[in-house]
Every structure is written in C-alpha cells, then in structure tokens.
Amino acid sequence: MRNIFCLILTGILAIIQACSPSLARKPVFDVLEPASVLTLEQDTTIVLVRDYFPSLDKIDRTESPHLKVVPYPGQDTVMLILREDTPLMTVLHVFSKGQAGNIPVRKMTACTESSPRLAVFPSLPDTDALCTIRLENGPATLYLFWQNSLVQAVRITDSYNVLLPGFTALMDRSWIRIYAFNDNGHSNDLLIPLEKGRPVLRQDQISRSDKQAQIMYQVFVDRFYNGNPSNDRRINSPEVHPRVDYHGGDLEGVVLKIKEGFFRELGITTIWLSPITQNPYDAWGQIEDPKTRFSGYHGYWPLYITKVDERFGNEQVLEELLDRAHNDNMNVILDHVANHMHINSPTLQEHPDWVTSPVTPDGRPNFELWDEFRLTTWFDKHIPKFDFSRQDVCQALSDSALFWLQHFDIDGFRHDATKHIDKLFWRTLTRKIVKEFPERPVIQLGETYSTPSLIGDYVKKGMLDGQFDFNLYYAFLNATVDPEGSFINLWHELETGLMQYGYHNLMGNISGNHDMARYISLAGGALDRNENHKLAGWKRNIGTGDPDSYYYLAMLHAFNMTLPGIPCIYYGDEIGMPGANDPDNRRMMVFEGYASQQLLLRERVKRLTSLRRTNLALLYGDLFPLHTSTNVLAYVRIYMGKAVVVCLNKGSEFFDMRSLRLPFDLNPEAMIPY
C-alpha cells in the first residue's frame, strides 16, 4: 500500500499521508540534515562532495542529468561543467553504499517580479492533504526534496502523483524543501518542518533543537555581571587604563541572571558567551592616544584553549550554567578562538613551526593585512597566527574545539575570525562533530567581514551553519543614519542575502557587537559616521544623542526579529546602551535605574521576541517584498496560510498598510496591528 504521496494540480501541490509506514532498510542519506544548495559558478564549478555530506566515509560515484561531472584531483572532488541544456536548476546524485543522496543545484540568478513564487497553505477542503503549496507566476518546473531524496522534478501543468519514502513518519524531525523555476527565473525556496511525517503547525512543537527558532543574546562575560568578587583579578597597573582592565564579570554572574529570569523574560532562547578560556595575567599591546596597554579581559588571547579562565569561574560553574540554561529551555554557545593563541602559550612554545610567517613574501610586516593576506596575517605581534594549511595543525586545533563538546553539554560555537582560517580546518572540525555526535544538533556560526560570496563559501553542511550578516547590518545603518540613506538599498542587500544564503538561512542578524560602535549612538548623532569611533570613545562621553535614536533602534530590532535567520541582541542593546567603538562599546551592563525610554524599548523588544517565538511564519515563512521606497520598506512572511506583514517607516509621512497588495490573494483588511 502507498504510504505517503503528493498530488500536484495546476499551481497547487497537496501533500497527503495515507497509512502507516514501514522501513525496508536503513537510509544512508535521509537520516542526515538536508544538504546545502550548490550554487554553480559561470562555466565550471569545483565541488568537494563532503561539503554537503560531511559524515560519509565513502562516496562511490556522482552524476547529474544536466551537468557534465568530471573527477577532479582531491578526495571526493568533482568538476561540474555546464552544458547547453543545463536549466536554472538541476540535481547532483551522490551514491554511497548502494543508495543515492541528492544535492539541489542551481544557477545564481536574481528573482524578479515575474519569477515564480511559492507559499505553503493549509490543506484543501474535503481532502486528506496535510498541506498545500501554491504557485504564482507559473507554470514552472518544480523540484521537491524530502531530506536528501529528490522526490520528483516535474513541470506543473496538470495533475501528478508522487510517492514519498515510507519512513517519513518514523522521524521526529525531517524536512520538505521545494524549489521552482521557469524562464523568468528562480522561485523562493520552501522549507516545511515535519514531526513524525506531519507538518509542524504549533509553537509547542518547536524545541531548542530547532535551529531556525533561535533568538540569541551576546554576553560579554567580563562586562555582564560580577557574581563572585572573590575571583576578581585585575592587573591594576598604571600601564593599563581601567577601561581595558578586568571589571569582574564572570560565569557566576550569568548563572545569577539565569536564575533571576533575565533571559527568560526577554524571550531569549540562546546565550552566546564571549571566550572563557585562559588568557594571560599580564598586559600586552599598546596604543599611544591614550597611552595604554591592554589586559585580556575580552578572552581573545588564549593561553590554553581547553581551560576555563579562573577569573571567569571554573568547570563546575560552567556546568551549572549549562544545566540552568537548559532547564529554562535555552541553548548556550561558546565563542571559540582557533585562529591564533597568545605567544606565551605552551602550545606555541612546543610547536613554534605551527604558525605563519610574520613577514609577507615581499618583505612587509604581516600584521592586520586582513584581505591581502587573510589566511596568513597576524592580528598583533603577541598573538601568532596558526598555519591551517597544515593537516597536523587542523587536527590538533579541531580536537581542542571538540573538547568542549565532549566534556560539556554546550550547544554550539560562534567561531572567531572565520575567513582567516583555511577551509581545511572547518571541514575537519565539522566532520569530527557529525561523526562523534550524529544526534546532537550542534550549531556553528562564523564571523566574516567580506562579500556575500566569500561569506557564503563557508556556509555549507560540511563547514558552518551560518555567519553573522554584517553587510545587512551596515545596509540598515546606512539607510537610517545617512541623510541620503534609502530603504531601496537595504532591500537590495536583503535580496542579495536571500539569493546567496537561501530563504531559510541561519545567518545572524545583529543589533551590534563588540567590534563596532553602538547603533543608538550613531542613530542619535552622538557619533559621526565619518569620525574615528575608537578615538571618540576615549576623548569624550558618548551618549545616545537625539531621543529619536530609541525609535530607530526599536526599528532595527523589529527588522532583525522578522527576517529569516537568527536575530542576535548585543548585550545592552535591548535598553539602548550607548557607546563608541572598542572599548567604549563594552561598558558594564546595567540592570536597574532605567530611564522611561529604556523601559519602553525593552518592552518593545520583549513583544518582538514573543511574536517571533509564537508565530511560525517568522520561523519558517517565506519572505515576499510588498513595498520599497526611500523611507518605507514593507514585506510579508507566510507559513501555512498565516502571514506577518512588516512595515518599516523612517519618514515623517503616514503610510497606509491597507494599500499593500498581498500575494496569494491574502486580504490586507484582515491585518491585525501588533
């Protein structure tokens, strides 16, 4: 008897479950997370297949119906060559142990107003369908995947039946992905989460293991809360300005705030801890204005990368923090530093040959050459850069990261300086994680300041889940702070990201971070866009400026909370803490004595996190633009027929949202203000 099948009608796909499934044999590919989409380059594309299926031990062969597949030097590597008949989308079949897995393959083309559009809706009346998929701007060719199985590729012109694997209902969480294209371009991509073979429809079906459901809060440990003054150990040297000495924040402070309900009340589901590994006890580095050296209060100069710094606590406190966070249904990820270690690290004393040269091939000092020599440059003279082109270095450093998963119940990593580390390391680490912890949903997010293409080059199942989207943040900053700024440019950046990373990406959408001036101080004019933000923080007291800055910061939070990806609040941005760049953006967190505008902003953030956590359209809904102009940006997210309409207005003129034309015949009169 047929277990699960899909009925395709003109413009509509109905997903139906019929009877109890049976598992004929253990699947090789469909127990793995769905493979990333493979984006083709212009003529030829070199593909390391394990970037898409990192846990496979052996790959027998690869083939494609629309691409020439040529073996390429290197293990499990092929060259894909475009043919004259290669469509906008196809598939790469990967064979292992007698079974086939499938990687979606597409050409990089922009969506247009006439491109196909897909959305998921409830089932049609008087049918057994679990849900229906609606298509606008058809007809189109549709590709439907369940996990890593290509269920069918079909031109939608009439009724069509498609069988799905029978063991769908045996999995607690699996995924349907749907893509479409025609002569006008690509569609958006659909992602439908399944629980025991049935679409997820309710918020109570979401757990902290669901990566799309994360709302992240960045804790800068030393500047958050001092929970145990007995472990304070400042340098207390006249060489070190108090602003760059230790302030006493620690892991016990985070534990206390978890116990008090700080994160729960704010609606946070994931806590990101700044590096907690052992840093030096003395001062390093120096600037001349003002003249000061620096402590390692930030955690980014590790002496030992498998030891908790005693100024932050110990292993027992970390375990308590993890237990309490998990009991509150929150994840905890660690900020991991692999790129470099402190020059006095025993690791570097034992292996001085593990680092890159501090001199470039043409004889220049190889310091802070971020783009010119991104894989070899040192960040400073006292933190030598590891040479990740060496297999032994990748093995040793990936084992150090794995240590934290082996000994503590952490939920993932934020990886520092991602683009400065050879892909060999990321592949090595991720392969170890998926091999040793196949059932553990470890999330890995990177940090890369660069173009979307370079950022996206690291975002694959065999490397990282996502990276922080600095380009989108700066586009919002430009649109709202620059006098000539426009939401049209913001939409173009958002659209670029959707095409590069996918409509259901895990990119981090930030309110700020520890390496940039606070948004509120820029929005309020307390800081000029063109001045030296680090120097400004040393020279004067930076405030919030114009009171309207709170409105603009609330708009930034609303933007982040309604996009695909992972919204991330930098500590203090929920109350509008001001600041210039490092170290002024790392002031001690404030927990009381809020002004009325701070209280109002915090309540708005709480309402936004609640909206995101309780509305599946903001977790799994596809995004469609509704209006783009200099001062107004409007878009809608749709999932299972429920929609969230978002309208950002930075101008002084009223904009009537009822004038918006919603896709898929949704009724704008039914909108309820939130």
pLDDT in tens, 377-396: 999 999 999 999 999 999 99
Question: How many CB atoms neighbour CB 609 within 10 A?
Answer: 22
Phi, psi dihedrals of residue 206, rounded to the nearest 5°: -90, 135
| CB-based contacts of 172, cutoff 8 Å, min separation 6 | 195, 196
Phi, psi dihedrals of residue 642, rounded to the nearest 5°: -95, 140
Among 348, 341, 416, 411, which residue's Cα sits nearest to residue 380? 341
CA 413 – CA 445 distance, rounded (Å)? 6
Among 33, 61, 298, 269, which residue's Cα sits nearest to residue 146? 33
Give the pairing type, strands 412-415 and 331-336. parallel
Phi-psi region at 147: left, alpha or beta (left = phi > 0; alpha = psi -120 to 50): left
pLDDT in tens, 496-509: 999 999 999 999 99
Cα end-to-end span (Å), the chain? 47
Q: Residue ranges per domain, the chain?
A: 4-201, 213-341+386-620, 622-670
The per-residue pLDDT for 8 is: 42
The per-residue pLDDT for 10 is: 44
Report yes or no: 500 and 456 within 8 Å, Cβ to Cβ. yes
**The tokens of 338 are what?**
């692999």
- Residue by residue, DSSP assigns 395-449 as HHHHHHHHHHHHHS---EEEETTGGGS-HHHHHHHHHHHHHH-TTS--EEEE---
Which residue type occupies 287?
A: I
Is the CATH number 3.20.20.80 carried by domain 213-341+386-620? Answer: yes
The per-residue pLDDT for 4 is: 39
Cα 541-543-547 angle, rounded to 5 deg:
155
CA 257 – CA 245 distance, rounded (Å)? 23
Cα-Cα-Cα-Cα dihedral sign, residues 436, 438, 442, 446: positive
Among 501, 436, 423, 499, which residue's Cα sits nearest to residue 462? 423
Listed as ranges, residues in the chain with pLDDT below 50 are 1-10, 18-20, 22-23, 158-160
Three state DSSP letters for 447-490: CCCCCHHHHHHCECCCCECEEECHHHHHHHHHHHHCCCCCHHHH
CA 58 – CA 56 distance, rounded (Å)? 6
CA 225 – CA 257 distance, rounded (Å)? 8
Which residue type occupies 88?
A: L
Give the C-alpha distances (Å, rounded to integers) separating 276 from 279, 312, 607.
8, 7, 31
